[in-house]
Structure 1
Amino acid sequence: MPVYRNRITAFFMNFLPGLGHYYWGKKARCVIYMLLFFGSLLGGFMLALVSNSGDIFIAGIVFAALVWGLSMFDLFIVLLKDYPGEGYESVYGPPPVSNRRLESDRFFTILLSFLPGLGHLHMGLMQRGLSFLVAFFGTITMLIFLAGITHDSVFLLFLGVLPVIWLYCMFDAVQCIHRKQAGDLVQDRTLFDEWEMGRESGRRSKVLATLLSMIPGAGHMYLGLLKRGVQLMVLFLGTFYIIDVMRLSLFLFLLPLIWFYSFFDGLQTISRYGREPLIDKPLVDRIGSHKHLLGLLLLALGIYYISMNLIVPYLDVHFPELRINYRIEKYLRPFIVSVVLIGGGIRLLAGGKKKPSAFQMERRNLDDDRF
């Protein structure tokens, strides 16, 4: 039976240096690259322990990165050589030229798509490729420009959008090349044209919704669940902001917990999309009944923020003997954490005892009268 080796599989396997070469039949190169990569990491670590110097370990990491890059580049050269029978082991001879050409074109398109837009340009989708290029590099330019103008690095946090654009571009390129090679008509539409068509037809892209779900609430909002999406986004960003402002590092575990809840809730919602009507059920059904609690929380946060940024620095300069910053770090923040934990525990215990409904009360009274 013929043995078929796929270029794309070899490429992704080589993210562990040498493994792609082994898959492609280059066993000697596999041994060399693995020894150099893992040997530099292990040797740098052992020498760093012996000499008690972290610079040696950093040098080992740098050398391992160079070996990784060299391994990938070497594999590129091997895979892009379209020799007859390359990647095949068969007693029946090399595969048909058309099959090898299709596979080579698919591999080259996916390889170019690591730079957003180039894979689409290779397929002749000029408008779509340019829209991905502009979206990716335009976002980088805009955020760096805003951070430089305002001298505030907080804008660089939005660089987290770039992996979403990159992943969507990669998935879209794979889908386009498979549809093109299957003989389907692939229209050259920009992202905005496609979203506009989806809006007019009332359909949403499940792939885009999945990628947007990596930002808490964004996937829900894209599917039209605005209340739930806004509340999830406010919950995540608000928790992050409060922990950062109040320096409550003890509650950092809440951030991944909220993120995973939002992401998997988004995946469940996407799986139901198109099969059943989606209900925009918010996390908190009646915000009006919690207005007073929310108002007190915002008032307390405002007072805390003003005190820590205006009053405390003034007192610390004019009355250094009071050591206000030290007392806040030593006593006030642990007190706040304790109050939040105890108050949350009391609230959960009190909420566990549900009051009987009117029907249950009436039935209980009838039972008492019967006896």
Structure 2
Amino acid sequence: MIRKKSKFFTFIFSTMFGAGHMYMGFMKQGVSIMSLAALLVAIGYVLRMEVFLLILPVLWFYSFFDSINKMSMPDMMFKQQEDHFIFLDNKDNRIIIDFIKKYDYAVAVGLIALGGILIADNMLDFLTSRFYMGAIGEVIRSLRWDAPKLLFAAFIIFIGVRMIQGKKKELDKEEKTDSVLKAAVVTTDNINPKTESVREVHVDTVPEIIKNIPDVIKEEEENENP
């Protein structure tokens, strides 16, 4: 339940990622902030991409001051606050869920690749620490350092390509739909003989119009070729 609580404990919990939000009842915001912090740490240490750790201070300050600002709000304004995932409103939440469902294959590949990286990293660490391998050991150490970065970069490129392909398909589909609707609207059945203007086509009639498109096209061809 979202409500104001002790200012002292709110301040204390605000010093931890997302805990202040969760204490006041903003569970989605708190969980998403904590999860994002854990993800950044995992990427920074497990995949050895320390640059992502630079985002942690920004995330901490956002979490801290957002909790303090919510605590300082007037009661009326506080009651109007909605709980949603960080940086996203309810509409964006649905978009993210739809995106995951649409690209579930890519997400699954990424999770499998991450698991494989963790297993391989531990196995290579065991081999290089237990056995002397000379030049091969140096190659393995280099792979442990560089391979996660290369795989992560390849995964990002793969996601980007899939998004571009999906967007292109959506645009092509919208373009075809628009052309079909225009062809259906601009017909002799929709033109007022007196004003020669296209009458308004209501949304309820669109399915019927689409259904009758083949007949409309056939009729136009007969009129053009009597």
Q: TM-score w.r.t. structure 2 length?
A: 0.54
How far residue 336 of structure 1 moved from its aligned partner, in angstroms, is 3.5
| Distance (Å, rounded) in 1 between the aligned partners of 2:17 and 2:162 | 26
How far residue 281 of structure 1 moved from its aligned partner, in angstroms, is 1.2
Aligned AA for 2:144?
I
Aligned AA for 1:223?
M
1:237 aligns with 2:38: yes
Bigger RCO (CA 8 Å, 6+ sep): 2
| Distance (Å, rounded) in 2 between the aligned partners of 1:216 and 1:249 | 19
| Distance (Å, rounded) in 2 between the aligned partners of 1:257 and 1:279 | 23
Structure 1 pair 334/297, CA: closer, same or farther in 2 (3 Å)? closer
Structure 1 pair 335/235, CA: closer, same or farther in 2 (3 Å)? same
Structure 1 pair 267/294, CA: closer, same or farther in 2 (3 Å)? farther
Query: Map of 1:46-61 to 2, 5 A cutoff?
Result: none
| Distance (Å, rounded) in 2 between the aligned partners of 1:352 and 1:264 | 37
2:9 counterpart residue number: 208
1:300 aligns with 2:118: no
Q: Deviations for 1:270-325, whole angstroms, at most 9, x for unmatched residues?
A: 34462242322124735765374554444322221121112453267264432311
Secondary structure of the residue that 1:306 maps to in structure 2?
A: helix
Q: 2:147 aligns with which of 307, 315, 332?
A: 332
Secondary structure of the residue that 1:281 maps to in structure 2?
A: coil
Aligned AA for 1:338?
A
Structure 1 pair 340/299, CA: closer, same or farther in 2 (3 Å)? closer
Query: Map of 1:20-169 to 2, 5 A cutoff?
Result: none
| Distance (Å, rounded) in 1 between the aligned partners of 2:169 and 2:66 | 27
1:280 counterpart residue number: 83
Number of corresponding residues: 168
Secondary structure of the residue that 1:215 maps to in structure 2?
A: coil
Query: Map of 1:186-225 to 2, 5 A cutoff?
Result: 203-225=4-26
Secondary structure of the residue that 2:63 maps to in structure 1?
A: helix
CA contact (8 A) 1:217 1:262 kept: yes
Aligned AA for 1:321?
A
1:257 counterpart residue number: 58
Q: 2:127 aligns with which of 314, 319, 343?
A: 314
Structure 1 pair 336/297, CA: closer, same or farther in 2 (3 Å)? closer
| Distance (Å, rounded) in 1 between the aligned partners of 2:9 and 2:149 | 43
Structure 1 pair 315/258, CA: closer, same or farther in 2 (3 Å)? same
Q: TM-score w.r.t. structure 1 length?
A: 0.36
Identity of aligned residues (%): 28
CA contact (8 A) 1:248 1:337 kept: no
Q: 1:369 aligns with which of 185, 188, 191?
A: 185
**What do you get for the CA RMSD once the two structures are aligned?**
4.1
